[in-house]
């Protein structure tokens, strides 16, 4: 059974189609990244899944429970962990009081274990918290009742790199223990680091749904090279280079070929400096998910909806 099944889900706010006929499944025991730029519609999907807003049309199920069945969904939430984009509690409460409040509703058998990993200042009022501390409190809150599924809205925003790493490792351990993780992000590198599959949303539409490895393989690498002397395009370009730009001895391009061939090619030049990075999400959109591009799947089956 799919842990989450989203079926032609649509949410309209006046003129804005925040979610436009979105369909995809999240399998049990996977980490699914929901990737898209700001305003793409990620939070809208998450709030629909939690029953916090009603769909204009379409629906979704969580662990088989239809989100339109409010009573069943309320019961089902005992199995769901939710990290909202903002925690939405009375901010004069201390962190401990916030956790106590959620513990009374759903339980907290994993609270101590989580506080070893993520430690917001529990005795201080939440209104004095930094953004990172609010996130940590939210993470403890989301997982402390040991849910089957965690739905996390930009969970690493505000966390320092060490804490981000800690969260990623924690999510992987949860996945390995059979839990399902659905999280949104606008940062490709974190989705790449931790997710099994990714759905990409842009302007309310799902534009890609695929294995993260396949996405990155098709997306190539950004390469920046500073040569010891100027070079011209005719001498430097190969078929595997996209968006090649050369200014005197500075060269940049997106490379989609074999790495060995790239290294061999660069070896023909006197190189002063080189940097190879993953492309930005916007660049991937530009090259692979341009206007009107149909959603693709890597398994050869036609995509559902989108």
41 interacts with ligand ATP by CB under 6 A: yes
Extract the tokens encoding 90.
């009375």
Shortest Cβ distance from residue 37 to ligand ATP (Å)? 7
Extract the tokens encoding 31.
């980490």
Shortest Cβ distance from residue 53 to ligand ATP (Å)? 8
CA dihedral 38, 42, 44, 46 (to 10 degrees): -140
Interaction residues for ligand ATP, span 50-89 (CB under 6 A)? 85
Identity of the residue, 43 or 65, whose beta carbon is nearer to ligand ATP in the bound complex: 43
Identity of the residue, 108 or 190, whose beta carbon is nearer to ligand ATP in the bound complex: 190
Helix 131-143 vs helix 95-106: crossing angle, to nearest 10: 20
Phi and psi of 105, rounded to 5°? Answer: -75, -40
Shortest Cβ distance from residue 55 to ligand ATP (Å)? 13
147 interacts with ligand ATP by CB under 6 A: no
Q: Which helix (H) or strand (E) holds 275?
A: strand 271-277
Shortest Cβ distance from residue 164 to ligand ATP (Å)? 17
Shortest Cβ distance from residue 186 to ligand ATP (Å)? 5
d(CA 154, CA 107) in angstroms, rounded, equals 24
Shortest Cβ distance from residue 154 to ligand ATP (Å)? 6
Q: In this structure, is the dihedral angle defined by the CA atoms of residues 23, 300, 32 and 211, taken in order, positive or negative?
A: negative
Question: Contacts with ligand ATP: how many residues (CB under 6 A)?
Answer: 13
- Collapsing DSSP states into helix, strand and coil, what is residue 42? helix
Phi and psi of 91, rounded to 5°? Answer: -75, -10
Short-list 246, 239, 245, 233, CA closest to 283: 245
Shortest Cβ distance from residue 173 to ligand ATP (Å)? 26
Binding to ligand ATP by CB under 6 A, coded x per residue (else -) over 181-200, reads: -----x--------------
Residue position matching structure tokens 């993470």: 139
Among 25, 31, 44, 205, binds ligand ATP (CB under 6 A): 44
| DSSP assignment letter at 186 | S
155 interacts with ligand ATP by CB under 6 A: no
Interaction residues for ligand ATP, span 1-30 (CB under 6 A)? 13, 16, 18
Identity of the residue, 36 or 138, whose beta carbon is nearer to ligand ATP in the bound complex: 36
Binding segment (CB under 6 A) for ligand ATP, from list 38-46, 65-73, 100-108, 189-197: 38-46
Q: In this structure, is the dihedral angle defined by the CA atoms of residues 132, 134, 139 and 140, taken in order, positive or negative?
A: positive
Residues that bind ligand ATP (CB under 6 A): 13, 16, 18, 36, 38-44, 85, 186
């Amino acid at each position: 059974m799919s842990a989450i099944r989203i079926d032609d889900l649509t949410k309209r706010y006046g003129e804005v189609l925040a979610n436009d006929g979105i369909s995809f499944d999240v399998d049990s025991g996977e980490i699914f990244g929901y990737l898209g730029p700001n305003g793409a519609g990620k939070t809208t999907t998450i709030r629909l899944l939690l029953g916090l807003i009603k769909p204009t049309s379409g629906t979704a199920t969580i662990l088989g429970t239809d989100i339109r069945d409010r009573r069943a969904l309320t019961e089902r939430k005992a199995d769901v962990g939710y990290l909202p984009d903002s925690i939405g509690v009375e901010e004069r409460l201390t962190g401990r009081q916030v956790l106590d409040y959620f513990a009374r509703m759903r339980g907290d058998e994993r609270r101590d274990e989580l506080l070893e990993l993520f430690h917001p200042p529990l005795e201080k009022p939440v209104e004095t918290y930094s953004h990172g501390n609010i996130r940590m409190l939210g993470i403890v809150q989301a997982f402390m009742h040991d849910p089957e599924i965690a739905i996390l809205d930009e969970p690493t925003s505000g966390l320092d790199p060490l804490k981000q790493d800690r969260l990623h490792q924690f999510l992987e351990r949860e996945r390995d223990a059979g839990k399902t993780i659905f999280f949104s992000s606008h940062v490709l590198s974190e989705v790449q680091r931790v997710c099994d599959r990714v759905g990409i949303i842009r302007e309310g539409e799902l534009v890609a749904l695929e294995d993260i490895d396949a996405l990155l393989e098709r997306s190539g690498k950004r390469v920046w090279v500073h040569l010891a002397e100027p070079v011209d395009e005719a001498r430097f370009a190969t078929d595997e280079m996209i968006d090649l730009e050369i200014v005197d001895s500075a060269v940049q391009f997106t490379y989609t070929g074999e790495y060995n061939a790239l290294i061999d090619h660069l070896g023909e030049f006197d190189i002063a400096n080189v940097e190879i990075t993953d492309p930005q999400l916007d660049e991937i959109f530009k090259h692979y998910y341009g206007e009107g591009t149909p959603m693709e799947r890597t398994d050869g089956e036609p995509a559902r909806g989108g």
